[in-house]
Structure 1
Amino acid sequence: MPATCPCRVLDEQKLSYAQCCQPFHLGRTQKTVLPQTAEALMRSRYSAFVQLLPQYLLETWHESTRPEELELDEDLVWTGLEVVKARAGGAGANRGVVEFIAHYGRGANAGSQREVSTFVRQDGAWYYVDAL
């Protein structure tokens, strides 16, 4: 069985990357397959960090806060994602907030990043805006 998707959505079903986040990563430019909730976008962005996909991260970053370029640290290994809470951001919403903890390792050192991210839906697509 292919590796479980890095975002670990529905961990009990062990969805593969191809079944979970990869369609979002491949379909974003054509807007053929888009995450339907703020949490789904956040999970797909986490998977994009794991898969080293800076273009997807830029494409899903709202233009009001998006940097011109993004360089990912290839020595940083993302090791797990915990969604703490999602507020609003459902399929019918235009704004959402997702709190999560992303775990990582660098060599023998391990750490985590806790974040509260805000998202907006614009023209049918969710975008990451900023984080606290």
Structure 2
Amino acid sequence: MSSHSSSPDTTTIPEQNTTSNETGSGKQGRKKTKSSVLSDEQKKAHHIASEQKRRENIRAEFDKIVSLTPNLNESENRSELNILTKSADYIDYLRDENIKLIEACRQKGISIPPNLIYSGPKNDGSDIAK
């Protein structure tokens, strides 16, 4: 074992994983099996909790969209379709306004840096906010 501990590769790997002893790896496998076996009720509870968290996250993001879109208000029908439709309409409006402003600047001889001109979505995903 001392020859293994001097090697830089084996110092980061726990001894259980480096041993070729079947008993040691068998115990490790059994420990994993015991801890990963859940009853059907536990699996169902975990699934329900995960699904509730997913729904909460979606709801929070839709709330954010509603707060950023001026033609949506809290008392209005908040169906996902309505939110997405009005948000898309607002984005289209902003694009049109942007084009008009760029053209007005060009007519006045004002140059606009290329990084401030929207040219559509990029295929590399870098245009998506995280």
TM-score range relative to shorter protein: under 0.3
Higher helix share: 2
TM-score, structure 1 as length reference: 0.21
Structure with larger Rg:
2
